[in-house]
Amino acid sequence: MNRTVTQSFKQRKNLVDGNSSGGLAGGPLKRLATGGITVAFFRILGVLLAIAVNAVLARLLSEGDFGRFVLLATMMTTAGYVARMGLERIVVRFTSLALARQDSPLLRRTLNTTVWLYCLTLAMVVVFWWGILSAFGESLLGGRCEASLIVYTSMSIVFGSTLLMIAEVFRGFHRLNWASWFSAEGSGPFVAILMVAQLLILRATGHDITLARSLTVLLVALMVPCILSSLLLVVIARNAFFRLGIGELEAAKTGQKTDDRPIAGAVTVSLFLQIGLPIMLTQLLAGVCVFGDVWIAGAYCGGTELDVIGASKRLTNLLAIPMSIMNATVAATIAGLHSIGKTELLQAVLRKASSIAIIPSLAFGTLLLVFPGPILQIFCGESYSQGGLYVVAMVIGYMFLCFSGSAEMALVMTGKQNVSLAISIIAALALTFLGSWIGARSGPLAIVVVSSTVLAIRSLAVWWAARVCLGIWTHPQTSIFSGFAFSTSLIKGFLR
């Protein structure tokens, strides 16, 4: 047992120092390989299932209902950002730190503080959501807002946001497979499977798919994995505390010390608020920049136009999935390498990861630029084929977002979240006022063009901020083929 404990201390030191005597066999690139392959598998599966969900909903919902469903989905996503208040980033950071230090008091304090603070903010968001839909639901949705719809969406916020929080706790425990499987994001496989199954069963039994019924389907698809993942998390957390207890006893017997123990007391609500509020506001405003065109279109357009814009947004949003995979993989690596001052290695890791992530985005983006109408027709149905110009405008903005790589994640994970927040505030205000002004005077295409332009400028600003504040570039390497070579080396390193 003593030998095992001694080896574990050496392994943790190698991980922190980034030592890698065997190429990808250790250090940050090894973690990028093993974690990236796991996350990528589940995310790709989730993307395929998400495409199936969107295709089924676009064909089964009546005219206008699909656009309202997309509008409500984006609004619930934003409400989830507020409810989590950046805690999903904080819990990963401090849980990983507690495990590395073998510090059970720190882990317990982190989880307890996260749980009760999250429950408080979630309750406040649900009450606010209920009031907003009760007062302005009809004007937002362009139709009657029934009480059942408010109930379904409120419960979906509760289960969806909680499911994503649990998934991030799994990530902090280094359980990337469970984190990706239960993720409530648009590419969560479990949620998508349940949605597709329910929709097909309802269709096979002759039931009409209405907006209220589709929201019920979404609620069930979020509730079931939320309950299951909660039970699984209890087991994983208990095992982690048990292992930490044994490790601390063995370290005491052998006289080995990793760090000074008493840092659990520093984990306070004020610390979480100080870190979490800028992260939450950045996520919220980034969501405004990405989904703002749908919200503005919901206020100034309606019916078929909102349906087409919503379908185009769901399609082009797939371009950001590879970058999401990359960010989920490199988040902990960014914090670790920055803390020990290995700037050059951090830049190399991020640029190589960006080179991999942009390959599928470039391929799919090129197809959307060349065949926007036909792909949208295949994706959502014949009635959506006229949305080609919307797709082209959105793709341009998303490509700038993909080009920036992990710039925003780098700012957040290195304590520069206020810089990202300032950029997001300016971009969100510009889109809100300029988009609303143009929306009242021009057509929906002008709204989409303005939104895409703001997204592109914001992405470039964040990318440049990472260079100025951290001294690193995060865009893909000059030769895009290096991404293919690095992908091969990752797989070889994983198989060693």
Query: pLDDT tens across 51-89, in order?
Result: 777 778 877 887 678 778 878 888 888 888 888 888 887
Q: How many CB atoms lie within 10 A of CB 464?
A: 14
Q: Which domain holds residue 347?
A: 25-259+268-495
> Which H/E stretch holds residue 388?
helix 388-403
Residue 55, domain member (yes or no): yes
- What does pLDDT average to over the chain? 78
Token reading at 209: 């798919």
Q: Are 70 and 151 in contact (CB under 8 A)?
A: no
Distance in angstroms (rounded) separating the CA atoms of residues 150 and 341: 49
Residue 458, domain member (yes or no): yes
Residue 1, domain member (yes or no): no
Residue 93, domain member (yes or no): yes
Alpha-carbon separation of residue 73 from 67, 186, 313 (angstroms): 10, 10, 12
Alpha-carbon separation of residue 256 from 10, 16, 86 (angstroms): 11, 18, 35
Residue among 412, 87, 147 nearest 282 (CA): 412
pTM, 2 dp: 0.69
Q: Are 400 and 459 in contact (CB under 8 A)?
A: yes
**What's CA 118's distance to the chain center, in Å?**
18
Residue 278, domain member (yes or no): yes
Greatest extent of the chain over all pairs of C-alpha atoms, in Å:
75
Number of domains the chain is built from: 1
Residue among 215, 6, 190, 174 nearest 92 (CA): 174
Q: Are 323 and 304 in contact (CB under 8 A)?
A: no
- For every residue of 261-311, DSSP letters joined together read STTGGG--HHHHHHHHHHHHHHHHHHHHHHHHHHHHHHHH--THHHHHHHH
Q: How many CB atoms lie within 10 A of CB 370?
A: 10
Q: Are 354 and 326 in contact (CB under 8 A)?
A: yes
Distance in angstroms (rounded) separating the CA atoms of residues 433 and 363: 34
Q: Which residues of the chain register pLDDT less than 70?
A: 1-44, 46-47, 63, 142-143, 184-187, 245-269, 302-303, 332, 336, 339, 478-496
Q: What share of the chain is helix, strand, coil (3-state, %, to 5)?
A: 85, 0, 15
Token reading at 92: 């990963």
Q: Are 257 and 103 in contact (CB under 8 A)?
A: no
Distance in angstroms (rounded) separating the CA atoms of residues 246 and 459: 46
Residue 13, domain member (yes or no): no
Residue 12, domain member (yes or no): no
**What's CA 374's distance to the chain center, in Å?**
29
User: Residue 387's pLDDT is what?
Assistant: 81
Residue 89, domain member (yes or no): yes
Alpha-carbon separation of residue 486 from 306, 357, 483 (angstroms): 41, 11, 5
